Amino acid sequence: MSDVKECTDCVVSGRRDFLFDSLRAAAAVIAAIGLAPLSAEAMPVLIRSLSSAAKEKSYPIPAADGVQIDKDNEVILARSGKQVYAFALSCPHQNTALKWEAADNRFQCPKHKSRYRPDGTFIEGRATRGMDRYAVKLSGGTIVVDIDKVFQEDLDKAAWQQAVITVP
Ligand code: FES
C-alpha cells in the first residue's frame, strides 16, 4: 500500500510554473545564442485584461499573428490571419497548461503531447477534441472575452465554430 497522497493543488500551480519556466527558458536560449526571435509575433506575450469585470475580459486587438497569454484569467488570445480566438489555457484532456510552439506553428500539451492548430483544431494526441474556446466579440475597438462561456467542440460544435471574430 502506498503512502503517496494526491496533491489537489499540483495541476494549477504546476501548469503556471511550467508556462513561465518555458518562457524563461526560451528567452535564455535566445539570449545565449545571441539571436532575436524570428519575429515578435513568434513568442507568446504575457498580457493582462483591460477590464476587471467579473466575467468579461477585454484586450487590445492583436496587431499581427501571434499568441498572447493572460495567466491571471487563464486565457490564450491568438490571432491567425484576420481571425482572433480566445482559448482556455488548459488542455482539454487533463487540464495541463498548453504551450505555443512557434517553430511548428501549433499548440502542444507538455503532458501527453496533444497537438493543436493555431485555431485550436485538434491534430493528434490523447485529447479527443479541439482546444476549448471562449465566447468572443468586438466592442469599442477591443476584444471582449466572456470567461463564463466556454465551448467544448465535442459538446457544442456549432458554438465552438462560431467562437471567433474577424478583425479588419
Ligand atoms: S493533459 Fe494534455 S494531452 Fe493529456
Structure confidence at residue 45 as a pLDDT band (50, 70, 90) = confident
Q: Report whether pLDDT(38) > 70.
A: no
Number of domains in the chain: 1
Residue 1 within a domain: no
Q: Residue with the nearest Cα to atom 3 of ligand 1?
A: 112
What secondary structure letter does DSSP report for 8?
T
Q: Per the domain annotation, does 4 fall within a domain?
A: no
pLDDT tens-digit map of 119-156: 999 999 999 999 999 999 999 889 999 999 999 999 99
Which residue, judged by its Cα, is nearest atom 1 of ligand 1? 94
Pocket test for ligand 1, best of 112, 115, 129, 132 (most atoms within 8 A of CB): 112
Q: Is residue 83 part of a domain?
A: yes
Grid-cell match 462560431, residue found: 162
CA-to-CA distance for 20 and 26, rounded, in angstroms?
Answer: 10
Q: Is residue 131 within 8 Å of residue 119, measured between CB atoms?
A: no
Q: Which atom of ligand 1 approaches the CA of 125 most closely?
A: 3
Query: Is residue 21 very low, low, confident or very high in pLDDT (cuts 50, 70, 90)?
Result: low
Q: What is the dihedral of CA 124, 158, 120, 125, to 10 degrees?
A: -20
- As beta bridge partners, residue 101 has 106
Cell of 74: 487563464
Q: Write the pLDDT tens digit of every residue in 54-90.
A: 899 999 999 999 999 999 999 999 999 999 999 999 9
Is residue 24 in some structural domain?
A: yes
Assess if residue 3 is contained within a domain. no
Which residues form the domain of 42? 10-166
Q: Identify whether 154 is part of a domain.
A: yes
HEC per residue, 71-140: CCCCEEEEEECCEEEEEECECCCCCCECEEEHHHCEEECCCCCCEECCCCCEEECCCCCCCCEEEEEEEC
What span, in angstroms and rounded, lies between the C-alpha atoms of 64 and 41?
A: 7
In a domain, 33, yes or no: yes
Given a cut of 90, is residue 113 above it in pLDDT? yes
Mutate to test the pocket of ligand 1, among 126, 129, 132 (most ligand atoms within 8 A of CB): 126
Atom from ligand 1 closest to the CA of residue 109: 2
Question: Is residue 2, in this structure, part of any structural domain at all?
Answer: no
The CATH number linked to 67 is: 2.102.10.10
Ligand 1: atom nearest CA of 126 is: 3
Nearest ligand 1 atom to alpha carbon 94: 1
Strand partners, 142: 60, 139
